[in-house]
A and B are shown apart, each in its own frame.
Chain A
Amino acid sequence: MLESNKDSLKLEAMKRVVGLIAKGKNASELFPAVVKNVASKNIELKKLVYVYLVRYAEEQQDLALLSISTFQRALKDPNQFIRGSALRVLSSIRVPIIVPIMMLAIKEAAADLSPYVRKTSAHAIQKLYSMDPDQKEQLIEVIEKLLKDKSTLVAGSVVMAFEEVCPDRIDLIHKNYRKLCNLLVDVEEWGQVVIISMLTRYARTQFTSPWKEGAMFDENNEKAFYDSDSEEKKDQTEAQPYIMDPDHRLLLRNTKPLLQSRNTAVVMSVAQLYWHLAPKHEVNIVTKSLVRLLRSHREVQYIVLQNIATMSIQRKGMFEPFMKSFYVRSTDATHIKTLKLEILTNLANEANISTILREFQTYVKSQDKAFAAATIQAIGRCATNISEVTDTCLNGLVLLLSNRDETVVAESVVVIKKLLQTQPTQHSEIIKHMAKLFDNITVSMARASILWLMGEYCERVPKIAPDVLRKMAKTFTAEEDIVKLQTVNLAAKLYLTNSKQTKLLTHYDIRDRTRFIRQLIVPNEKSGALNKYARRILLAPKPAPVLESAFKDRDRYQLGTLSHSLNTKATGYLELSDWPAVAPDQSVRNVEVIEPVRNPDTLLIIVLLHACLILTHKSGSESEEESSEESDKTSSDSGKSSSGSEKSSSESEPEQKKKKKMTKAPQKKSKPTANLCLLRFIPVFPMSLQVTTPSFGPVKTYELLHHMTGKGLSAKYHFSRQPCLYQPSMVAVQVILTNSSDHSLEEIHIGDRSPASLNIHCFNTIERLEPEASVTVSMGIDFSDSTQAANFQLCTKEDQFSVSIQPAVGELLMPSTMTEQDFSKEQGKLLGMNETSATITMATANTSSQAISKQVLCAANVGVVSSSANNFHRFAGRTVSSRALVLVSLELKESSTALLTINTEKSVMASMLLRDLKQALAQA
């Protein structure tokens, strides 16, 4: 029929073919006959042929090529619809040979007058990229161009392409940021979701955290502290009232109306944006909308409830007024029920616990037994969290023991066991009660739990325990393994506590295969030493189990994402970065301004500046006093002309000190010349540059104390990479302490440390930290050039938490500045044993000199040595404690391999550093 010359017949045939495809049957043998019809005038026929082509072109590449010319012709058609659909199909044919044709077509379509065609080209970018990732660079150019597009039709698609092809090229967004924010409301709903999630990531890298608000700094204290050091008084974290970047505000303001969207995905994505970006007190506005989503379909409820569960752990207050919306209905699906239960448990506090418990009582009776069991666990969690109701809960659970359903009873026994363990007060009544019920319980887990409880608290129920054991001994062979084990355990424990009564019984057990216990027990009749030991093993105080939410850890994933839903990292999940400590230059978002230069030249300038300073320094330095005085002057002089150079001078000062030690005979030159020399360099670089912080790339922040383990106190730290103020042999560490509990924490200070010899310069005791407030403090730690972790205790008035800081080897260094000649000279002294080298393979993205410097400086705190040869990169540093030179050189070979050499006396550090650098350069 396909060969027929009547369109209607052909159409009929194509419809049948499509029917075959839909059923998943193979229709590929019809390919030649179908392809002929690609040029048909009948639009419906044409469409069906397109459907067929897209499905089978991959399998029949040669024949598919026949159709290409038709598409090429259609791409020039005056009708935008035909141009668009031709590009759609052309880009959907996954035949590698036509990549160049596709590239050309995409480029042309991106400049098309019709926004519809431009939108199609944005889609085509992703298709081409997935087929041939080598085209990345060219495609990024197209994306850059399309990002500038002002049409709302294009915006969503191009951001999608951006996310797929180059999510890390955040620099492309800068200039379009404000436009995207303003267009957002008018973009179609699917595009909104994509744009919002992209902007969330963007904002996290570009704005400072709004959560520091209210952080209290003890001004006087801080000042007195820094007065001792005259030069380095400027602390970047010095308390300044937080002012939100107007662009940050713009984003929040423009997304707010979208909470009213009918599309649940849009609402969810705005909610996660507020959660991750808004100041804490503004997050509450999303609550209502999220609760509204609960009216939607079952699947939507499931995802929304998961997200609410995560949110409600951290912010009870947000959802408390809506508690009743989470009441369970008997018609809900089981997983919805358990999620609601989870949220109710999270919301429980002293005020509402009685209402919640009453509600739980209804659930326990539910016909859905899995749900009833989950409710019992939830009651257990409420009981541990809120001490006032522990007894009520226990009594309620004991009542449940007489329930007829086995699973319910079993679950209650297990929960009671856990509760008693956390509260080992006088609960002998309950244990006695359980002993009575013991005969009726058949679920092995519950039986085992009761036996365990008996054993554990046998001193409290001296009469019953032996009885139970006697009963058990009779039925021992018929029991399940876990019960047997606990019986034997009980016997052993009883034997130790009151051996008189149990002597008669032990033979039952010995007769059975309880060799291990027998060996423990039998010898102790003779020797007292082992007896003690056995007692220690069996009756050691058990740590109470912690009953906590399964959603506790989920906050590490961005809300609303697939990864969050599954609680594992999904492929392609993009980590949400932490807030930057310092906001990147906001002027980059100004559209008019030409973007500041970001190229290797800047590096060169810094190096020149450093060199220049050293020159200045050398010239004036005869003694240490004089030199510092000198550099004060230089920097204050230069400070007037450029803020950038001021910083650099302050940072390079310690290096200068080192330098001075090396140069035994400093040359005398006059001050003015040196200053002139410095000033001459200043006009060289643009004023807007802020490049003098020695650490390039993002500062990595590590977790010191999680707020769950820290009872509300959380701590994060990062290496500031600045010379330590307290002692030159220390590494400076900045710790951000945050109080995420609901009461203020007092007297935060550092307690015991291990090893005891560890030399730490502590921060001053923080008298008081309000809820939601955070404070940044600096510490100095002398790691003595080893990566051994520094363990110490972080104490509050009530609690002590052991924490440890493990430095990466790169953080134990400080940059050293030297010329190429000096480098080679020093390298020459450190050969043989002191040299470590390896050939490494680098990621293709890292082969440019800029990228190499960035990666190396990111991994290790070293300084760049200017190099005359293009394929040679050199970096120099010193270890912080012993001031041993560390020289890193990288020789580029062909095809992204390179020879990495490290010269230093510290060979252990060298090999570790080598490994770290290798890793850093291998990843893009």
Chain B
Amino acid sequence: MIHSLFLINASGDIFLEKHWKSVVSRSVCDYFFEAQERATEPENVPPVIPTPHHYLISVLRHRIYFVAVIQSEVPPLFVIEFLHRVVDTFQDYFGVCTEAAIKDNVVVVYELLEEMLDNGFPLATESNILKELIKPPTILRTMVNTITGSTNVGEQLPTGQLSVVPWRRTGVKYTNNEAYFDVVEEIDAIIDKSGSTITAEIQGVIDACVKLTGMPDLTLSFMNPRLLDDVSFHPCVRFKRWEAERILSFIPPDGNFRLLSYHVSSQNLVAIPVYIKHNITFREGSSQGRFDLTLGPKQTMGKAVESVLVSSQLPRGVLNANLNPSQGTYTFDPVTKMLSWDVGKINPQKLPSLKGTMSLQAGASKPDENPTINIQLKIQQMAISGLKVNRLDMYGEKYKPFKGIKYMTKAGKFQVRT
């Protein structure tokens, strides 16, 4: 399966290598660099690259390429999914997954990789189990370790790997027992020039943070489970119960995990929370372009639209933009031609706008496409699909846990064509 792994940073240096079978020379990465050169943008590097003796499957996360070397047939998604899982683990351990963080913790990284794969086949990828095997570094522990000479490697085989609930360890103890659930929904939409919706769908996740003593058995029910069209579960959820009663029944892993991700059925009309009035024009022959953008709330059920960020890739001919925002700040990067406007909160009484002119390269012809506008936003205390949790019950333990549910709506891939 996975033969070796190379980590390559944005400037093309291999800063970490790990081999699970015999050593593969790092010159194999030359094929990767070749492909990278051919691709204009970092995202355009093909995920699967064949070389004479090996196949390279790569993943780009946090500006680091994770390149796995494969020698024979294997489902490519298997490798891709695993690499993403590696990144997630690093992020979980070090807070961030950057070159510096990996370099600082190279020994932990090595120990992790050693545990995650045996002979190229995934062994332990569940973060709860890994944390038992290898303790995540904290400032306190590093200090204690240096003083006492103790280690950050677990002494015992984690019980989870052997029990029927492989995702949860035994003997968990908390003084404050709490279970928090975040229902986060994202709207993916394409809005056309005239403001009508071309496509819109809602994807959601329920992220949980469960800190409960012992082996609690939780059930979570919804007011309107029929909204959920297509779901994927954390392995802890009992599928049969969901099929029969539309109730989520599970023994939760300890700590943070994603309980459920779902898709809201496409029959339901999607409420679009904001509208944009735009007027971006370039005139033939002149070196000036007009830029005029106004945002307004729409269908938000009285909730405020926050952390609005508008960004747009302006045409290559644009040299500079001289704009005037009614609120927030804007930046324009003349190299990448990326315009971004940090709006903040939308005030329905005084709609935010961004107006001004763009200067074009002299003599350049009028760009034939208007830029697409990408929008990010957040609405607290609301799930745009209307999904509501009915109740959360706990069985199997005697104490009363503290429960909390939070709703949030975000814009996912929200684009407006102009």
Contact = CB atoms under 8 A, between A and B. Distances in A.
Real binding pair: yes
B109 interface: yes
Contact of B80 (A21, A51, A303, A573): A303
Contacts of B243: 257
Contacts of A130: 21
A260 B239 contact: yes
A324 B199 contact: yes
A568 B51 CA distance: 12
B121 A333 contact: no
Interface string B97-126: 000000000110111001000110111010
A667 interface: no
B214 interface: no
A565 B118 contact: no
A566 B76 CA distance: 10
A7 interface: yes
A563 interface: yes
B153 A115 contact: no
A81 B71 contact: no
A561 B79 CA distance: 11
Contacts of B14: 24
Contact of B368 (A190, A405, A560): A405
A841 B152 CA distance: 58
A547 interface: no
Contacts of B81: 263-265, 300
B413 A292 contact: no
Contacts of B289: none
A2 B171 CA distance: 37
Interface string B33-68: 000000011011011101000010111110000000
B26 A265 contact: no
A289 B157 contact: no
A189 interface: yes
Contacts of A48: 107, 111
Nearest to B315: A367
A354 interface: no
B316 interface: yes
Contacts of A44: 151-153
Contacts of B235: 189, 261-262
Contacts of B316: 367
Given A260-B233, A560-B75, A327 B149 contact: no
A362 interface: yes
Contacts of B30: none
Q: Max chain A CB contacts within 10 Å: which of B72, B119, B125, B201? A: B119
Contacts of A255: none
Nearest to A156: B121
Nearest to A323: B199
Interface in B221-256: 229-235, 239, 243
A334 interface: yes
Given A262-B233, A330-B313, A116 B199 contact: no
Contacts of B179: none
Nearest to B16: A22
A811 to B, nearest CB: 31
Contact of B77 (A42, A268, A289, A574): A268
Interface string B141-167: 000001001011101110001100010
B365 interface: yes
B73 A562 contact: yes
B114 A366 contact: no
B258 A262 contact: yes
A563 B229 CA distance: 33
Contacts of B155: 43
B301 interface: no
Contacts of A79: 157
B384 interface: no
Given A127-B119, A130-B21, A189-B235, A265 B110 contact: no
A462 B415 CA distance: 50
B239 A297 contact: no
Contact of B75 (A367, A561, A571): A561
A404 interface: yes
A127 B109 CA distance: 23
Interface string A453-473: 000000000000000000000
A282 interface: no
B406 interface: no
B139 interface: no
A151 to B, nearest CB: 9
Contact of A265 (B78, B149, B162): B78
A657 interface: no
A855 to B, nearest CB: 25
A19 B73 contact: no
B55 A562 contact: yes
B114 A51 contact: yes
B313 A367 contact: yes
B382 to A, nearest CB: 21
Q: Max chain A CB contacts within 10 Å: which of B81, B155, B192? A: B81
B69 interface: no
Contacts of A263: 81
Interface in B350-408: 365-369, 372, 374
B140 interface: no
A47 B232 contact: no
A562 B75 contact: yes
Nearest to A92: B119
B290 interface: no
A570 B72 contact: yes
Q: Max chain A CB contacts within 10 Å: which of B16, B118, B156, B417? A: B118
B142 to A, nearest CB: 12
B18 A22 contact: yes
A374 interface: no
Contact of B232 (A262, A404, A568): A262
Given A23-B15, A43-B155, A302-B47, A18 B119 contact: no
Contacts of A120: 118
Contact of B203 (A50, A295, A366): A295
B187 interface: no
Contacts of B114: 47, 50-51
Contacts of A115: 162
A157 interface: yes
Contacts of A50: 114
Interface string A721-750: 000000000000000000000000000000
A18 B110 contact: yes
Contacts of A51: 110-111, 114
B73 A573 contact: yes
A365 B368 contact: yes
A287 to B, nearest CB: 10
A59 B92 CA distance: 36
Interface string B169-183: 000000000000000
Given A11-B149, A190-B78, A292-B263, 10 more contacts: A18-B110, A84-B157, A91-B119, A153-B161, A260-B239, A265-B75, A299-B60, A329-B413, A334-B41, A403-B368
Q: 6 shortest A-B CB distances, which residue pairs?
A: A572-B72, A81-B157, A44-B151, A324-B199, A299-B47, A330-B372
10 contacts: A24-B14, A24-B17, A130-B21, A157-B121, A189-B235, A298-B47, A299-B57, A330-B313, A333-B44, A565-B48
